[in-house]
Homo-oligomer: A and B are copies of this chain.
Amino acid sequence: MRQAGRYLPEYREVRSRVASFLDICRTPELAAEVTLQPLRRFNLSAAIVFSDILIVPYALGQKLEFVEGEGPKLDPVRDGQAIARLDDSNLLRTFGAVYETVERVSSALPKDVPLIGFCGAPWTVASYMVAGGSSKEQAEARLWAYREPAIFLDLIQLLIDTSVEYLLGQVNAGADVLQIFESWAGCLSDDEFARWCIAPALSIVERVKQKAPHVPIIGFPRGSGPLAVRYAKEAGIDAIGCDATLPLDWIKDSLQPLLPVQGNLDPLLLVSGGSRLDARVKATLAELGKGPFIFNLGHGIQPDTPISHVERLIALVKGASA
């Protein structure tokens, strides 16, 4: 899960040097620097490359900007013509900067700290591409997928192909682990979830594993609820990320027997801190720590997270696993 960001003063210093968040992602020197910043401060077990899931549509030529306080804005893709205008002939122009970031970080990290590369899952990325940004319950993408599944599948297929290339490029550059972020899995019924989330994930995983069988792939179907079980069984992944709403006993009984699990502390509890944070971390370790488990947040870290709370969290987790 996102580690770098606005909760760190050294990140804000780097951010202040450029006009846009996207400029950090496009500048390997800066992206590598902010990727490494949390590792310098905290005793973390892994690093995750600093980038954004919307790099993929950007690489496909979709206009993208990040408006401070408003989130991403894209020129919406709403029909077959708009899909046809997406251009996958020059992906390296954009992905090259991410690959160089991965190279820089990989060579700077100690050998025992793996580097996680990632992409957004096709459904989630498509939901931004179709809506032109964040959307309420992914309504635009859902309606299109229900009305014209064959055309919508063209978009998903393009995202599958592009994501495979992008993930393999990160592996070639030095990524040790990959993660697929299905941030908006929580809006589809079971049949549509199978079609638009599980099938594309499986396709990506199978194709990546043909070339890089040794690289573990973590899937993160955020908000999928009970469908996380089906995702764990059918998406071909090696480990599953759990959001904060999945109950600990259910994760232990339903997911952990299938796969290593990652998660799932509420990022707002890390903001509020105190004895409730301590109690929840201990409960999580007690419930999940006996099986294969990667402690993590249930979603990205919040900008207003006090650094002392992160330190406390890491001390609790590292103390328990020592």
Contacts and interface: CB of A to CB of B under 8 A. Distances in A.
A92 interface: no
- For this chain, the copies found in one complex come to 2
Contact of A249 (B143, B190, B192): B190
Interface in A87-117: none
Interface string A38-69: 00000000000000000000000000000000
Given A146-B268, A191-B280, A268-B143, A230 B245 contact: no
Interface in A181-224: 186-193, 223-224
Contacts of A192: 266
Contacts of A227: 245, 247, 250
A153 interface: no
Nearest to A250: B226
Given A190-B248, A223-B225, 6 more contacts: A143-B272, A147-B272, A186-B223, A189-B266, A226-B254, A227-B245
Interface of A: 139, 142-143, 146-147, 149, 186-193, 223-227, 230, 244-250, 254, 264, 266, 268-269, 271-272, 274, 276, 280, 283, 298
30 contacts: A139-B268, A142-B268, A143-B268, A143-B271, A146-B268, A146-B272, A147-B272, A186-B186, A186-B223, A187-B245, A188-B245, A188-B266, A189-B247, A189-B266, A189-B280, A189-B298, A190-B247, A190-B248, A190-B250, A191-B280, A191-B283, A192-B266, A193-B247, A223-B245, A225-B226, A225-B245, A226-B226, A226-B250, A227-B247, A227-B250
